[in-house]
A and B are shown apart, each in its own frame.
Chain A
């Protein structure tokens, strides 16, 4: 029989956040969908244009609004450990939403489409400046990527230690391997050893 005390503090999972970033059409939603155990959900933020110092008694009805949608998915590692994947809003003007997403995040995946490489520059810049660990995942659109890793590293001006992985965002196994590469990189950056993990 469960004790009363136990019932009062339900088993709450630990949740880790991973951000999926990249330019518009780079495959963010596809990647979230392929690895998530649930159909990707969507949350919206309604931007009110409120200043930070305005208190809540102030009416919001005069302010312009924009709705920004964020896709997210979930992977349950165990009963008490879950990963949440958040696709970042694609437009540059929503950086401040990224701040909230990035706060406390384990790390990020920057999806790159080699046909439109410049689209992922802002994401790379953002995570570099914030110090958020990230990997670059090159989404292979029908075998489209002919660029070498070295050329890509130069083009993105990446630090030598930032992993570059190839992936097919539609493929669950491929998406999983991108996430594994990220977690291994996070561990490496923190000087932690994942040795003993069977591969």
Chain B
């Protein structure tokens, strides 16, 4: 068992980049929702943190929330707060995944075909 209560240090470290906030100001951010930057890295507001700039840079192409977190090596909760700020500032777009009941026949067929073809 790898309990990291001690190794992880105080929570203030993990959430320092959010100014101690644990809730995003906007958005739900499913793990497989996609983030897309609305503009390039030039001309971003000066107050953005390095982490938020890194998110913009990473999401020039659509990237899932889980991959954003993995890429920046930050906890999901932290990433969600940062994404919330960027969404509220209109610097990113978010695309939530379809609800489970909307996985229709065509999608399931495509998945089975695709898996067989791999």
Contacts and interface: CB of A to CB of B under 8 A. Distances in A.
B112 A180 contact: yes
A63 B11 contact: yes
Contacts of A153: none
Interface residues of A, number: 58
Interface stretch (B41-49, B50-58, B102-110): B102-110
A44 interface: yes
A169 B2 CA distance: 23
B32 A15 contact: yes
B61 interface: yes
Nearest to B98: A14
Interface string A52-87: 000111011101111100001011011001011010
Contacts of B103: 16, 106, 186
Q: How large is the interface on B (under 10, 10 to 19, 20 to 34, 35 or more residues)?
A: 35 or more
Given A48-B22, A66-B4, A86-B31, A196 B77 contact: no
Interface in B22-36: 22-23, 30-32, 34, 36
B14 interface: yes
B8 A46 contact: yes
A67 B11 CA distance: 10
A86 B36 CA distance: 22
A104 B108 contact: no
Interface of B: 1, 3-5, 7-12, 14-15, 20-23, 30-32, 34, 36, 61-62, 64, 66-67, 69-70, 75-78, 95, 97-100, 103-105, 107-116, 118
Given A57-B21, A66-B5, 11 more contacts: A12-B34, A16-B107, A16-B111, A61-B10, A72-B66, A77-B115, A100-B31, A104-B98, A106-B100, A197-B109, A197-B113
Interface of A: 10-17, 24, 41-46, 48, 50, 55-57, 59-61, 63-67, 72, 74-75, 77-78, 81, 83-84, 86, 91, 100-101, 103-106, 176, 179-180, 183-184, 186-187, 192-194, 196-199
